[in-house]
């Protein structure tokens, strides 16, 4: 059974014996979906990611890196962004083909936004549920045990001694791997299955990534964006660059997109 279905089954199982906790989880997830808006509402989700980061007193770094990823993706995959410009140059001689390829790129962009929305919903739900109920003995039915422990550490740090970058990285990796395996991987695979243009598929799967807090000249070159382990590896390097640059600078760099 896929990880997402296993999680949903676990939530339903807990609901039978812990109705109040199930209702609390469902209410928070409903609030997350309302906050997420439509797939195109990237900027409101960015603001909400930022609010989570601030609420955690900077101890939960995943939403900060995630919002940079969302803003980068908005600029890169849009028809009016970098890939759209490349497509326009590639098919400048044939307006019909250019329109067709722009349509395919737009469909992929909409799929990317839908995946981004689901990542936000998970991040919001996991954070606020553990903030309110993370120490409940049944909480592990709703949040994977290792991620639950990491988020509980984040909440404790927000109330007391901040996590160092090593501990922040551990929590970041837990949240990252959960989202990449449970939500992002199947979403990217579903969008790729719709492509029938080898050139556009290659462009989408080999993006050049530069977040605005990266040092001058630093970029990540993907060989296969659909590869989960490659995405995880690049994201961990993004965290390391953020820690080296300083989290205040990373936060300020949001405005540079």
When mean pLDDT is compared over 7-11, 93-97, 209-213, the highest value belongs to 209-213
Section 89-110 average pLDDT? 65
3-state secondary structure 65-114: HHHHHHHHHHHHHCCCCHHHHHHHHHCCCCHHHHHHHHHHHHHHHHHHHH
Residues 100-110 pLDDT 10s: 666 676 777 78
pTM of the full predicted structure? 0.84
Domains of the chain, by residue range, sit at 3-195
2 pLDDT exceeds 50? no
Using CA atoms of 208, 171, 116, 211 in order, give the dihedral in degrees to the nearest 10: -30
pLDDT of residue 238: 98
- Helix (H) / strand (E) element for 221: namely strand 220-221
Confidence of residue 3 (pLDDT cuts 50, 70, 90): very low
Average pLDDT in the chain: 86
DSSP 158-200: HHSSPPPHHHHHHHHHHHHHHHIIIIIHHHHHHHHTT---HHH
Q: Region 51-57: what's the mean pLDDT? A: 98
- Cα-based torsion angle of the residue sequence 236, 253, 246, 47 in order, rounded to the nearest 10 degrees: -70
CA pair distance 43, 49, nearest whole angstrom: 10
**Tens digits of residue pLDDT in 155-178:** 999 999 999 999 999 999 999 999
């Amino acid at each position: 059974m896929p990880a997402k279905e296993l999680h949903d089954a676990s939530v339903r199982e807990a609901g039978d014996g812990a109705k109040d906790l199930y209702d609390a989880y469902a209410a928070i997830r409903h609030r997350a979906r309302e906050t997420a808006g439509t797939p195109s509402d990237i900027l409101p989700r960015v603001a909400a990611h930022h609010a989570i980061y601030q609420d955690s007193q900077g101890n939960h770094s995943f939403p900060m890196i995630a919002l940079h990823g969302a803003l980068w993706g908005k600029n890169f995959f849009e028809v009016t962004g970098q890939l759209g410009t490349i497509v326009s140059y590639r098919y400048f001689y044939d307006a019909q083909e250019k329109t067709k390829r722009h349509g395919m790129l737009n469909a992929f962009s909409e799929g990317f936004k839908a995946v981004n929305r689901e990542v936000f919903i998970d991040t919001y739900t996991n954070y606020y549920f553990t903030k309110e109920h993370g120490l409940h003995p049944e909480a592990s039915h709703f949040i994977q045990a290792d991620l639950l422990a990491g988020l509980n550490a984040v909440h404790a740090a927000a109330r007391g001694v901040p996590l160092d970058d090593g501990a922040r990285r551990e929590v970041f990796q837990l949240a990252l791997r959960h989202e990449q395996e449970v939500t992002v991987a199947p979403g990217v695979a579903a969008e790729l299955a719709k492509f029938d243009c080898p050139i556009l598929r290659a462009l989408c799967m080999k993006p050049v990534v530069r977040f605005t807090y990266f040092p001058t000249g630093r970029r990540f070159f993907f060989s296969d964006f659909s590869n989960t382990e490659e995405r995880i590896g690049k994201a961990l390097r993004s965290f390391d660059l953020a820690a080296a640059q300083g989290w205040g600078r990373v936060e300020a760099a949001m405005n540079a997109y």
